[in-house]
Structure 1
Amino acid sequence: MTSTTKEIPIELLPFIRVYKNGSVERLEDTPIVPPSPDQDPETGVSSKDITISENPSISARLYLPKLTAHNQNQKLPILVYFHGGGFFLESAFSSLYHRYLNNLVSQVHVLTISVEYRLAPEHLLPAAYEDCWAALQWVASHSADNGKEPWLINNGDFERIFIGGDSAGANIVHNMAIRAGIESLPCGAKIFGAYLAHSYFWSSKPIGAEPKEGHEKSLPYLFWNFVYPSVTGGVDNPMVNPEGPGAPSLAGLGCDRMLVCVAGKDLMKDRGVWYFDMVRKSGWKGEVELFEVEEEDHIFHIRNIETQNSKAMVKQLASFVFE
């Protein structure tokens, strides 16, 4: 007799399978690696894992650049980072993001909190949004010495809090900036800058060079229905379509500066440019800049950190943080 428990009701190949018994098989995840509390041998960056919340379970990996006697008391910009992966893949603890952030932290010299938020389908959206907002609140609470994390208290510059992410993580950045414009963070903390790389936005109508045929079968469309099946408006919900019905005005973004990065060969490139244009025309009082690398694809800068184009993106982020 064959068991029906392993029948596959949902699969998004080559990424994930969800079986009838509820078990989930992720086909594309990179392996989990430990932090480097005694400094990463290549970059000198120290990292450690901390718990932000037990219930729900939210944790993070913290990164501190190499400090010398000369700069050990220097206050560093704080970057709260949200990884990509379509809201259902990857981890703050994966080898992919650990390597990327070690490199970024050593080059840009920022204190970084990489958030481990809950993933779909075990935890459908808005769980990831709620987790990332809780992480942002946790970071902000340290600005009045209410927190207990020594790296943040001793080394964090709370006048320069940045949020950043790639793909789904960049979508989270947008939603956190919108929320920060409506709700206050603890201790009067403010988000100074937002960094969005290869942002995951979509809508029911294709724009720019997006294929007109089969739009409803495009991966961004399928991903959204997979991770947030119950949401009002589907793929036109304001969380994924910032000009969808009922979307809050981008003039209310709760940050002072924004850097939007796009890649020429990325399926979602036109969405990034579209978002940049919307922010620019919204009446928002902040400064927004667009950085494009023409000959690259989606999240190339994370997969291949050694290339010239990846190094150019890190330099662009450094100049954005320290302008």
Structure 2
Amino acid sequence: MTSNTKEVATEFLPLLRVYTDGSVERLIGSPLVPPTLDDPATGVSSKDISITSDVSARLYLPKLTDDIYYEKIPILLYFHGGGFSIESAFSFFHHRYVNLLVSQARVVAVSVEFRLSPEHPLPAAYEDSWAALQWVSSHSIGENSDKEPWLINHGDFDRVYICGDSTGANIAHNIVMRAGAEPLHGGVKILGAILCHPFFWGSIPIRSESSIGHQQNMMCRIWKFVYPSAPHGIDNPMINPFAPGAPSLSGLGCSRLLVCIVDNNPPRERKRNSLL
């Protein structure tokens, strides 16, 4: 008699379980929801598009009232959180959040669907996110016939912002650092970045961080799981911007930076460091 029970290869609780056949079962995360045209609560419209064979996105456009119909409005590139391994730009949680954000901030938003670990370990999510930023920037130049009309008709390429929450904020930070060293299509510049409780860590405790189990806590375990080949491990500059040899934060490729922190969130000290 053959059993249909799959054998577990490894698990990273409470996030996911990996089976010996290579399949991944994600144990938490909100359900996927479709885009909406003229959302009844906010008036925001959304649609899904492909950027490359690996990267897609959900685009959002606020209700075009008379006062902004012919006005160019800011562009927001958004990266979702979820430990680099769960959640989605198409999930209920992030769709609802970005929908409300677009309604209140009156921006054109591009919420990026990057590849997840462990099927695609880091740096895949970073490369996908950079490709999405370059795709947005490419709309500032060249012929418009094959370009996304919501960006062409309504986006202001002098007001491009990057935003993310948790590990999405980590992605936003690293994308803005890269934009400080590499040019974007059309010479587009990032005006500002918003990091909402960004995911940072390092091997040496700082301030109130406990030295007991410091390198075995969830932050460290997530990083080792999603980026097992990271040079210098938990002191890779992508997770520890203050590690020895990390690029200077003076090289940030934006002129404005907002960091939001939560006092009872474990890596709060490192977030405070990013404000210094």
Q: Normalization by structure 2: what TM-score?
A: 0.96
RMSD between superposed Cα atoms in Å: 1.5
- 1:9: which partner in 2? 9
Paired positions, count:
274
Tell me the alpha carbon deviations over residues 90-124 of structure 1, each in whole angstroms, 9 at most, x when there is no partner. 10000000000111111111110000000000000
- 2:138: which partner in 1? 141
- Tell me by how many angstroms 1:5 deviates: 7.8
Cα contact 1:52–1:60 (8 A) shared by 2: yes
Could you say which structure has the higher helix fraction? Answer: 1
What is the distance in 2 between the residues matched to 1:243 and 1:8?
Answer: 37
What is the distance in 2 between the residues matched to 1:81 and 1:3?
Answer: 43
- 2:202: which partner in 1? 203
Cα contact 1:5–1:19 (8 A) shared by 2: no
- 1:179: which partner in 2? 178
Query: What amino acid maps onto 1:124 in structure 2?
Result: P
What is the distance in 2 between the residues matched to 1:113 and 1:157?
Answer: 13
Query: What amino acid maps onto 2:179 in structure 1?
Result: A
Q: 1:182 to 1:5 in 2, by over 3 A?
A: farther
- Tell me by how many angstroms 1:39 deviates: 1.0
- Tell me by how many angstroms 1:4 deviates: 10
Cα contact 1:203–1:240 (8 A) shared by 2: yes
- 1:114: which partner in 2? 111
Query: What amino acid maps onto 1:225 in structure 2?
Result: K
Cα contact 1:163–1:191 (8 A) shared by 2: yes
- 1:21: which partner in 2? 21
Q: Secondary structure at the residue paired with 1:207?
A: coil
Q: Normalization by structure 1: what TM-score?
A: 0.82
Q: Which moved more, 1:191-200 or 1:211-220?
A: 211-220
- 1:151: which partner in 2? 150
Tell me the alpha carbon deviations over residues 116-144 of structure 1, each in whole angstroms, 9 at most, x when there is no partner. 00000000000000000000000001112
- Tell me by how many angstroms 1:29 deviates: 1.5
Tell me the alpha carbon deviations over residues 222-272 of structure 1, each in whole angstroms, 9 at most, x when there is no partner. 000000001110010001001223211111111100000001111121111
What is the distance in 2 between the residues matched to 1:25 and 1:210?
Answer: 32
Query: Is 2:129 the counterpart of 1:127?
Result: no
Tell me the alpha carbon deviations over residues 21-72 of structure 1, each in whole angstroms, 9 at most, x when there is no partner. 2111101111000001x21111110000011012xx1000000110123321
What is the distance in 2 between the residues matched to 1:120 and 1:78?
Answer: 28
Report 1 or 2 for greater relative contact order, CA contacts < 8 Å, sequence distance ≥ 6: 2
Cα contact 1:76–1:110 (8 A) shared by 2: yes
- 1:104: which partner in 2? 101
Cα contact 1:5–1:20 (8 A) shared by 2: no
- 2:270: which partner in 1? 271
